Amino acid sequence: MNESLSGLLPTDVVRNWDNALNTVCSLFPASTVEQCKQRLLSTLTNTDQIGENAISSAMAALCEQFALEVSRIEDGHIAELQDEMSDEQIYALSNLLYVMDMQLRLDLIAKEVL
C-alpha cells in the first residue's frame, strides 16, 4: 500500500488488507496473478501494457470487464470460465480480481489526493 496512505490509517486496517490480498493471491500461480494485474491495470489506465499471455482468453475477458463495468459481465463470461475452472476456483478468481483491482485503484488515486 502507498506509504502516504498507510501512514494515515490504523495499523490493523493496513495489516488486514495486506493479509486478505496475500490470502487470495496465494491461491493462484504467481504468473496468473501478475497477468491478471497487468490486464486490470491496462484497462484502468487505458494503456496497452500486456506482455506474455499466461492466462486464458476467458480469464482475460473477465479481468477487463471486471475493471471496466462489473455489472455488465454476462452469463457467457462465467460459463466460458466454467469450461476450465471449478465454481470454487471461479469464486477465488472473482475475489482475486476484487483485491487487485482495488489495490491498483488505491495506488492511482492516493498519490493524487493525499
Partner 1 sequence: MNSPARITVTQSDAVNRIDRDLATFAASVVRMDKLEPLVTELVRLRCARVHDCRLCGSLRQRKALDAGLDETMADKVDHYESSDLPDNIKAALRLADAMILTPGYVPEALRSDLAAHFTREQIAELLMDIVKWSQQKALVALRTEAPPWAATEQLDFDENGDPMFCGPVQTV
Helix runs in 1-114, H state only: 3-6, 11-25, 30-44, 57-68, 75-82, 87-113
Q: Using alpha carbons, list the distances in angstroms from residue 2 to 5, 60, 108.
A: 5, 26, 9
- In the complex, the residues that contact partner 1 under the rule CB under 8 A are 5, 8-10, 12-13, 16-17, 19-20, 23-24, 27, 44-46, 62, 66, 70-71, 73, 75, 78-79, 82, 87-88, 90-92, 94-95, 97-98, 101-102, 104-106, 108-110, 112-114
Question: Shortest Cβ distance from residue 34 to partner 1 (Å)?
Answer: 19
Angle in degrees, CA 44, 33, 107, rounded to 5: 40
Q: In angstroms, what is the minimal distance from the CB of 61 to partner 1?
A: 12
DSSP 70: G
Tell me whether residue 32 or residue 98 sits nearer to partner 1 (CB atom). Answer: 98
Residue 44 or 54: the one with the smaller Cβ distance to partner 1 is: 44
